[in-house]
Amino acid sequence: MKGKLCAAIVAEDSAKMIETAEAALAEGADLVEFRLDHLRRVESGMVRQLRKFSSRCIITVREKSQGGAFTGTEEERIGLLRSFSSINPLYLDIELDAARKDPAVAKELRGKVRNLIVSQHYFDSTPDPATLAGIYKEASEMGTIAKIVSMAKSAQDNLNVMALYEEVKERGSLVAFTMGELGVLTRILCLYSGSPFSFVSFGERASAPGQIPLKMMRKLMAQSK
């Protein structure tokens, strides 16, 4: 069974973010990722507003070193993850570095949400196979899903990342693909290799280089049936 399509929702105000999420789901996205780090401010009522999306969303407050836009303190960022974990989202994302620094927080969040994604991003290159395998092992021990995304500089980078699926013991426990022009194909292939979902862009902004628009991805997948 192939994975699902998750539309990354990037907006600077909560009303626009919710409106865009509703439109993405209406147009065929299976899931939406709320990139809360892009909001100018998180309004007090937003936890309640996102509750209706809980079974179809990923909650992410990405730190800057991992490609995010959050400008507050780490304490404030973790506080937001704690607050939004109260809606029991289908997925909540925490970076591997953050989980390493405070394993107790990762353990706490894992107990509050349906699936904890422990993620690692490499925006400049792709590590060697041994490093990738080590990251997968560490992240999968801390969360229910390991997410590993790197920048593809060669075809070999794509092969090295996709080879991680051969290490997976439980299907659906790894999300791995590459970014950039050379990595576009892996965003499709991962869906047929065991990833529970792949990210697509929707609306005016993408959250990462190489994301395929939702409409185009749906067309490609329909043609592959």
Q: Which residues are catalytic?
A: 121, 147
Rounded to whole angstroms, how far apart are CA atoms 171 and 193? 9
Q: Collapsing DSSP states into helix, strand and coil, what is residue 217?
A: helix
Cα 210-212-215 angle, rounded to 5 deg = 165
Rounded to whole angstroms, how far apart are CA atoms 65 and 196? 25
Rounded to whole angstroms, how far apart are CA atoms 103 and 61? 17
Rounded to whole angstroms, how far apart are CA atoms 72 and 146? 25
Identify the CA nearest to 209 among candidates 177, 175, 165, 164: 177
The residues with which 146 forms a beta bridge, in sequence order, are 118, 174
The residues with which 168 forms a beta bridge, in sequence order, are none
CA quadruple 207, 98, 39, 5: dihedral sign: positive
- Helix ranges restricted to H, the chain: 14-26, 46-50, 74-85, 96-101, 103-112, 129-142, 155-162, 184-189, 214-223
Place of tokens 């994302």: 93
